Structure 1
């Protein structure tokens, strides 16, 4: 039987990946730890909202932060997260044309 609480938590975890900026952050983390400044530079992001996205990713258990002196280095939690990101790419390449042509659900609250 499906445990509703488990499904709610799983949905929250998946939402961690459901944002373009967070995906950019995760992609640039795949080659190692980065500071906030490095992330902002790599993804050409906005220093005012990157920390919010990092906190979201940390709260969802997707990344970890390690403090060294005055810097915090964030990295993917484990190799399984990296494998999941790679699997997203594999599946996406198979369905990207369908996804690109699907505009039914972009603004829907489904």
Structure 2
């Protein structure tokens, strides 16, 4: 499965199509590189070369993630000569990001400490269960 396919999967057997679409949306934003690209595009359009320089990612990585976001309908490209300027397709995505930031601020470190999806789960560091109960 390539990166573009990854943002279109995530369907769970027996769930409604609305739930499947929500899972696909959140999955498309669950990668740190894709989320960084979306956050950068929230400030205005950019070319892949701009994103490479600003985010410090490889060109192939940025291109693959922009393609995924484009395939998911979250990003659109505007060709200008030999260049393509990417931007967010929907202003509602900014509202979603703002809501996520509000939720993260309200819950403190609880999400970061999650043993399944938290920051420590990716590093292999043990999770302090005392911290997760607060």
Aligned residue runs from structure 1 range 34-49, under 5 A: 34-49=46-61
Partner of 1:24: 36
Larger Rg: 2
| Structure 1 residue ranges without an equivalent (≥5) | none
Match of 2:83 among 71, 76, 80: 71
Match of 1:54 among 62, 66, 70: 66
Which structure exhibits the higher relative contact order, with contacts defined as CA atoms closer than 8 Å and separated by 6 or more residues?
1
State the Cα distance separating 1:97 from its structure 2 match: 0.9
Paired residues, what number? 105
* Distance change in 2, residues 1:96/1:20 (3 Å): farther
* Distance change in 2, residues 1:33/1:7 (3 Å): same
State the Cα distance separating 1:3 from its structure 2 match: 6.2
**Equivalent position SS for 1:18:** coil
Which stretch of the first structure deviates more once superposed, 14-23 or 88-97?
88-97
Instruction: Say what the alpha-carbon RMSD is for the aligned residues.
Output: 1.7
| Structure 2 residue ranges without an equivalent (≥5) | 1-13, 122-134
Partner of 1:83: 95
Question: When the two structures are superposed, what TM-score results if normalisation uses the length of structure 2?
Answer: 0.71
Work out the CA distance in 2 between the residues paired with 1:91 and 1:82. 14
